[in-house]
Amino acid sequence: MQSTIPVLEDIDAARVTRQEASGHQRVYLETYGCQMNVSDSEIVASVLQKAGYGLTRDPEQADVVLLNTCAIRENAEQRVRRRLGHFRARKRKRDRHLKIGVLGCMAERLRYKLLEQERLVDVVAGPDAYRDLPRLLDESAETGQSAVNIQLSREETYADIAPVRYGSNGVSAFVSIMRGCDNMCAFCVVPFTRGRERSREADTIVDECQALFEDGYREVTLLGQNVNSYRHGTCSFPDLLNRISLTVPAMRVRYSTSHPKDCSRELLEVHRECPNVCNYIHLPVQHGNSEVLERMRRGYTAEHYRALIARAREICPGVSFSTDIIAGFCGETEAEHQDTLDLMREIRYDYAFTFMYSERPDTYAARKMRDDVPEAVKKHRLTEIIELQNSISLENNQQEIGRIHTVLVEGNSRRSDRQLCGRTDTNKMVIFDRHHYVPGQYVRVRVTGCTSATLLGVPVQAI
């Protein structure tokens, strides 16, 4: 399923559609990690374009290659290192003027170490240093040395920078509403790479949503590591959703990601009251056992989480849930793992992002606990989790057959340009024949078939 929630470790090979190269120096930007990084790359593109750079989707045409990186798991970093190796070889062998920059979470985590480990990197910039990129590129060009800015900020939200939405489908856009995370889950590197939590001024968010609507967009996904702890002045997250919903009533509003401990009754009521706030919540549980959750320092128990889901289903009938789950966290026993499977059977998520625990340096778990579940056991448990989720997703989708959904058309289906794809309010991807429908349109579609990942349908009428 293609989804708006963290597309972790996916390369978004800078699909520059409308912003072809125009300036002197051409920049190729490649994005790894979560949607925050995709959104940040749009900020980077904007900053660089203003400074006179052009953008290119072809790395071979680029004078500057920037990798916006992710540090969430070891294998995410390894992918970046392999890619860096490729560009380094090019620079060494045939393109010594090529500038290579590492941005984002890996830059922040490794700081100067990155320069020792990865020779030939010219620029290292952390997530709060993107305004400084033109200066860093100039500096490294002038001095022939690497230029580094890994300063984290307590204020930076890039609120005044209009993102260049170079990879967008023109229908659905990301709007970043907060940065950083104060939660300090035991396994997670994000608080170290993204710094303290800070929220963006509400007016600038509402204005951006309005402007997107005027540009033809019909869906926004509000982004942050923990969006439901958003607060700017007196404006809370439910207040913000309400304001956006009223200002652009024909715009679908989603958000990602939310933390169970901050999912209030008030927020659930906004889902119920605002028709354009989607009936879908990505609510990462991470584990089904309360003791593991405590070791993870998540701030809730499995019972609390179950009660939250029950309350949400009561307030918002038909609400769809997806989640994140980690297999093989420190000290996880077979019985604890079974608790995760039991919780999944009970809650019946529509989708789950599932991961093997990967120890990250400096985190609480790395400092205080032992990564003692053998790799093969982690793998086996992860496979069980994935297989269970696939069967639940399939059964959930089968129950959709015969129902009619309002689908927002996003574009051609991946397999055929005679078919379109779009998502339901509940975030399920639907494929149907094109007829005369176009992206950005809302279409009523009757579901006629499914796989575990996708619904198939026939249009009933446009709206």
Residues binding ligand F3S (CB under 6 A): 8, 33-34, 36-37, 70-72, 104-105, 189-190, 193-194
Closest Cα partner for 165 from 325, 15, 366, 32? Answer: 15
Q: How far is the CB of 70 from ligand F3S (least distance, A)?
A: 3
Q: Please, which residues have CB within 8 angstroms of residue 26's CB and are 6 or more apart in sequence?
A: 53, 54, 55, 56, 61, 62, 63, 64
Neighbours of 453 (CB within 10 A): 15
Q: How far is the CB of 126 from ligand F3S (least distance, A)?
A: 11
The single residue among 53, 130, 300, 355 that binds ligand SAH, judged by CB under 6 A, is: 355
Most distant CA pair in the chain, distance: 66
Separation between Cα atoms, residue 47 and residue 52, nearest integer Å: 9
Separation between Cα atoms, residue 33 and residue 11, nearest integer Å: 8
CB–CB of 263/225 below 8 Å? no
Residue 355 contact partner, candidates ligand SF4, ligand F3S, ligand SAH, none, CB within 5 to 8 A by sort of partner: ligand SAH
Site string for ligand SAH, 312-331 (x = CB under 6 A): ------------x-x-----
Site string for ligand SF4, 209-248 (x = CB under 6 A): ----------------xx----------------------
C-beta of 170 vs 299, nearer to ligand SAH: 299
Residue 63 contact partner, candidates ligand SAH, ligand F3S, ligand SF4, none, CB within 5 to 8 A by sort of partner: none
Separation between Cα atoms, residue 29 and residue 58, nearest integer Å: 9
CB–CB of 425/252 below 8 Å? yes
Encoded tokens for 457 = 């349908």
- CA R_g for the chain: 22
Q: How far is the CB of 188 from ligand SF4 (least distance, A)?
A: 3
Per rule CB under 6 A, is residue 225 in the interface with ligand SAH?
yes
Residue 191 contact partner, candidates ligand SAH, ligand SF4, ligand F3S, none, CB within 5 to 8 A by sort of partner: ligand SF4
Q: How far is the CB of 255 from ligand SAH (least distance, A)?
A: 11
Separation between Cα atoms, residue 286 and residue 96, nearest integer Å: 45
Q: Rule CB under 6 A: which of 83-142 touch ligand SAH?
A: none
Each as own residue / partner, the long-range contacts of residues 276-279 (CB below 8 Å, 24 or more positions apart, any chain) are 276/245, 276/248, 276/249, 276/250, 276/251, 276/252, 277/241, 277/245, 277/253, 278/252, 278/253, 278/254, 278/425, 278/426, 278/427, 279/316, 279/318, 279/319, 279/320, 279/425, 279/426
Q: Please, which residues have CB within 8 angstroms of residue 142's CB and are 6 or more apart in sequence?
A: none
Q: Rule CB under 6 A: which of 274-303 touch ligand SAH?
A: 284, 286
Residue least distant from ligand F3S (Cβ): 33
Q: What angle do CA 400, 404, 409 make, to 5 degrees?
A: 100
C-beta of 273 vs 294, nearer to ligand SF4: 294
CB–CB of 438/409 below 8 Å? yes
Per rule CB under 6 A, is residue 229 in the interface with ligand SAH?
no
Tokens 């203003």 belong to: 50
Site string for ligand SF4, 172-201 (x = CB under 6 A): ---------x-xxx--x-xx----------
Q: How far is the CB of 337 from ligand SF4 (least distance, A)?
A: 19
Residue 124 contact partner, candidates ligand SAH, ligand F3S, ligand SF4, none, CB within 5 to 8 A by sort of partner: none
Site string for ligand SAH, 158-187 (x = CB under 6 A): -----------------------------x
C-beta of 166 vs 357, nearer to ligand SAH: 357
Residue 184 contact partner, candidates ligand SAH, ligand F3S, ligand SF4, none, CB within 5 to 8 A by sort of partner: ligand SF4
Residue 36 contact partner, candidates ligand SAH, ligand SF4, ligand F3S, none, CB within 5 to 8 A by sort of partner: ligand F3S
**Amino acid, res. 329:** F
The DSSP secondary-structure symbol of 114 reads: H
Residue 163 contact partner, candidates ligand F3S, ligand SF4, ligand SAH, none, CB within 5 to 8 A by sort of partner: none
Q: How far is the CB of 364 from ligand F3S (least distance, A)?
A: 16
Encoded tokens for 462 = 């446009």
Binding site for ligand SF4 (CB under 6 A): 181, 183-185, 188, 190-191, 225-226, 259
Binding site for ligand SAH (CB under 6 A): 6, 72-73, 187-188, 190, 225-226, 257, 259, 284, 286, 324, 326, 355, 357-358, 360
